[in-house]
Chain A
Amino acid sequence: GAVVSQHPSRVICKSGTSVKIECRSLDFQATTMFWYRQFPKQSLMLMATSNEGSKATYEQGVEKDKFLINHASLTLSTLTVTSAHPEDSSFYICSARVSIRGSDAEAFFGQGTRLTVV
């Protein structure tokens, strides 16, 4: 299957700082990328959907000013957690789909980023 690379895999930051997470599709062009958050023993929670070149669509309850998403190219999307707090500590996962195949396209996931805010 296609490869989605997510970086970093782990990050520890101080409360109040910002953290950027990168998601790259290595061997295909991903017109749509998704960002998820997963707390321990809980399910994936969709945070936002981003299409290349346009603003991200955020799920209800997700603060768009806190979780900045940029999808500037067909192979790269970034999630920046601004002014991080301990409650933002979680496992963040991106996924990418080749939207030209429409709904048939499966989603490929990055390896995930475990964020710990101290």
Chain B
Amino acid sequence: QKEVEQNSGPLSVPEGAIASLNCTYSDRGSQSFFWYRQYSGKSPELIMFIYSNGDKEDGRFTAQLNKASQYVSLLIRDSQPSDSATYLCAVAYNNDMRFGAGTRLTVKP
């Protein structure tokens, strides 16, 4: 059973702080990793993807991948109230893509 695990939260951070979201996966053959954001009542939207070990930065977002430890994380710098949402980690191997349960983030003004 391929599993993707996330801490469901809620994770609460003050405005301007760094939010750190973590995800672990069970399938060592996983090849691609994605972070999605989902606002309440809406469908998920892609934030970032990462394929190689290390860090990948895009604006205030940094994705970190460690295949040996089977975890991927998302850092959000200078968190804003508009970042409050559920963040979904997705792991892909060929045609198969699995999502974690999501971490609910609240950024307090």
Query: Which of A's residues lie within 8 Å of B, judged by CB?
Result: 1, 6, 32, 34, 42-44, 46, 49, 51, 91, 93, 95, 97, 99, 102-112
Q: Which listed segment binds A: B18-26, B57-65, B75-83, B93-101?
A: B93-101
- Distance in angstroms from A10 CB to nearest chain B CB is 11
- Alpha-carbon distance between A43 and B97 when the two chains are bound, in angstroms: 15
With A43-B102, A44-B88 in contact, do A107 and B97 touch (Cβ < 8 Å)?
A: yes
- Distance in angstroms from A117 CB to nearest chain B CB is 18
With A1-B46, A104-B51 in contact, do A43 and B101 touch (Cβ < 8 Å)?
A: yes
B90 at the interface (CB under 8 A from A): yes
- Alpha-carbon distance between A40 and B100 when the two chains are bound, in angstroms: 16
Complex interface: chain A residues within 8 A of B46 (CB):
1, 106-108
Complex interface: chain B residues within 8 A of A44 (CB):
44, 88, 99, 102
Query: How many pairs, one residue from A and one from B, have CB atoms within 8 Å of each other in the complex?
Result: 57
Complex interface: chain A residues within 8 A of B53 (CB):
none
Cβ contact of A109, chosen from B43, B93, B100, cutoff 8 A: B43
Cβ contact of B93, chosen from A1, A103, A107, cutoff 8 A: A103
Cβ contact of A103, chosen from B41, B43, B92, B99, cutoff 8 A: B92
8 closest A-B pairs (Cβ-Cβ)? A43-B101, A103-B31, A109-B43, A112-B43, A103-B32, A103-B92, A93-B43, A44-B99
- Distance in angstroms from B38 CB to nearest chain A CB is 8
Cβ contact of A32, chosen from B34, B41, B51, B95, cutoff 8 A: B95
